[in-house]
Structure 1
């Protein structure tokens, strides 16, 4: 039996980029899902929600994530070395009321949300889930919006993760979504898992046949279209950085119009302006830098997205912005430099200097940028080692994720990662384990195996069966 990942097609990737999700289905037999659902019911009834222990408690779930369909979908969007994050949750719904529209937080913490798909979620439905049973609802195309943009809870255009047992939604981490009413009143389970890209793309990781971006067929979005943003995301996933830079000829009238739209109250219009300004070289960058320093934080954030794709000519101005007095300006500049990856290597020293900044949000953003830029300089690794003992928990667990991205080049961090395995926070510990795994030296692997053996979970031990049979 062929177990190679079933990679997404160009058309499926186009739909993911534009709509922010795909509804797919595994090919397990009905008996598999019946068994899983029965086991979920038993665990929920006798023990409650297993939370982060879903995988060891419901062993069949690992078979789901080993399936070619799910492996192929995740590889296509996040690359072949994606990480299954330690946070996972089983959602139970038997209520007739809908949940509120929301974006998931990062385990209770805030960060600058990515337009590039560094993160994704899978929502898996082990039972037949018609619309009446309350599947997850998503608002297509909203993965790039900070604001909700749509007013009504019953907004037109909502899509549903509805289907037979084994249906799953692969979603951009930042899409707006909600639980829908379960009017049948029967048990509905949804298993949510998070995944992270550990490597920036260097080439397409899906079944790519056509190099150039084109919109998917029959595209109809409820909010707005973002042709330039979508093109840039396609190029980024194909391995290009700063692909928009200087792709438009100078046009003063157009630049003035875009500068005005950058401050537009309708977020999709402002986003389109930011990405379009990135095409105009240094003239467009000047407009975006002015936006970055705008007293309106939403304008500053939107400008940062444009600067994050504007190419190497944006690096000098962004580096200068790191010395700004306003924390929001610095925070947004750090994000943009990180997204420019290796093009921003000249900013590494300036970024590392911010690891002593009084703002924990800025220190955390720097810790992430050091991993995304991907240059494992001694200063970067030393800075991330220092972050592992930062007083702020978000800085600490972000450092672990960044060291995972640096891989073997971060070998000098192994002793600090071993110490982090005793951190009071579960995600600092989990990310330290992941960093040891991706660093992969003999010392790192030995520490990893010892820690996992010490914390070994017995998958059949329950309150009813504490030690026998």
Structure 2
């Protein structure tokens, strides 16, 4: 990640990221650096097309961007020091005077329960001066935790643009709503998108924290102002405080009944507010959220799971029982919430392992992801994940690779099967197997990793126009 001192985010920047879901930051490369970068991008796109996941090896100087202390510092602040540069990356080219549609990025065409906690982040880097008229990426502040497009009537007023001089980049929560804006100048505009993953749950602040206590940022771009409980919980989670929300508000039957009714509100911001407020209210709140988890309406169940995921140890028994529920979405949401509870989930581990053999693939890959978030795995956990590397469903296989990456050296027994996975037909199964070998880090894992990389090494100078020389 480079040798220069990282420029970690400040408390105010972290507050802004938690509330708005993004930060606009700036590198300090020379104009000559970006001019050279643009020339290479233009050549590659004109003669070879979009290099896709091969963007970094094809344009080698681009690695300097992701070694820059502003970028490494920002990523370390949000994702911890052992963050992963994911194998999926993409260079976006925009030269048309039409806006793209608002969307959340998928996980490479697949689905998963989206984390409110920042387990994932993206960097959107602009290698040319990008004024508003050139079509920078637009983001909708504060929408990273909303499943629906809640801002449909506010988009023109509230949209924020990642515009600025060459070297500007947006650090965004992976799940924020965003789009391309119209390029009214018709000149080439590149945006280089890279994805990053947290490999360890936070145990302490990894930014330049001076103030332990949550407070709102001085400036809020998000139009959704009623989520202070959710924002405070995220701040505490990033500070390494697991379950900090539990039992922090007095509970009475009337307030719990009112919040429970709000779980069905037409406004998603109101619904999420209710779920997080119920998480604060001890036994009565947990019981209401568990009832919501079992609801036949998947949206109510999903929102209740977010509340249960931050309700502390009091929610674990009910979540464990819910793993046997007849509703498939209830099982998925319960497994998700247990993963976020981490070491508090010990009593549920055996059931989560059993779910790795569930007939529904969405249950299997959710259980595989949750087991990778628990920190100290049992031998049975590792054995179960090894079997998942052989699963017929591709999402189970590549989710398992990421989980084994998070387990690190404790997953040493998986090395032989990970070597087999290096020949999988799916590019992300192969990529995640490589990452798992890297994070496991034993001599056997390193030998397998190096051998594969040497066998599949790619020459960045070899193109249809230059097959051998220079």
TM interval, shorter chain, is over 0.9
Does 1:65 find its partner at 2:89?
no
- Structure 2 unmatched runs, 5+: none
C-alpha displacement of 1:154: 4.1
Contact 1:156 1:222 in 2 (8 A): no
Output the CA distance in 1 between the equivalents of 2:156 and 2:104.
16
Residue number in structure 1 paired with 2:84? 83
CA RMSD of aligned residues (A): 1.0
- Alpha-carbon deviations, 1:138-168, whole Å to 9, x = none? 0000000000112248432100000000000
Aligned residue number for residue 374 of structure 2: 373
Partners of 1:342 and 1:444 in 2: how far apart?
26
Give the match for residue 163 of structure 1.
164
CA separation of 1:421/1:346 partners in 2, compared to 1, >3 Å: closer, same or farther?
same
Q: How far apart are 1:221 and its partner, in Å?
A: 2.2
Matched, 1:17 2:25: no
CA distance in 2, matches of 1:304, 1:191: 34
Distance (whole Å) between structure 1 residues aligned to residue 400 and residue 279 of structure 2: 30
Are the equivalent residues in 2 in contact too, given 1:83–1:196 (CA < 8 A)? yes
Structure 1 match to 2:308: 307
Runs of 4+ more than 6 Å apart: none
- Once the 2 structures are TM-superposed, how far is the Cα of residue 218 of structure 1 from its aligned partner? 2.5
Equivalent position SS for 2:72: helix
Tell me the TM-score normalized by structure 1. Answer: 0.99
Q: CA deviation at 1:407?
A: 0.2
Q: Please list, as runs of the form range in 1=range in 2, the aligned pairs for 1:60-459 lying within 5 A after superposition.
A: 60-152=61-153, 154-459=155-460
Equivalents in 2 of 1:166, 1:414: separation in Å? 40
Partner SS, residue 200 of structure 1: coil
Residues 230-258 of structure 1, C-alpha deviations (whole Å, 9 max, x = no match): 00000000001111111112222211110
Q: Give, in whole Å, the separation in 2 of the partners of 1:351 and 1:29.
A: 51
Q: Tell me if structure 2 keeps the 8 A contact 1:345–1:375.
A: no
Deviations 1:307-354 (A, max 9, x none): 000000100000000000110000000000000011112110010011
The DSSP-based 3-state class of the residue aligned with 1:373 is coil
Equivalent-residue separation in structure 2 for 1:184 and 1:363 (angstroms) = 48
Deviations 1:71-113 (A, max 9, x none): 0000000000000000000000001000000000000000000
In the TM superposition, residue 51 of structure 1 has moved relative to its aligned partner by 0.2
Gaps of 5+ in 1: none
CA contact (8 A) 2:319 2:334 kept: yes
Aligned residues: 469
What TM-score results when the alignment is normalised by the length of structure 2?
0.99
SS of 2:261's partner is: helix
CA distance in 1, matches of 2:349, 2:5: 39
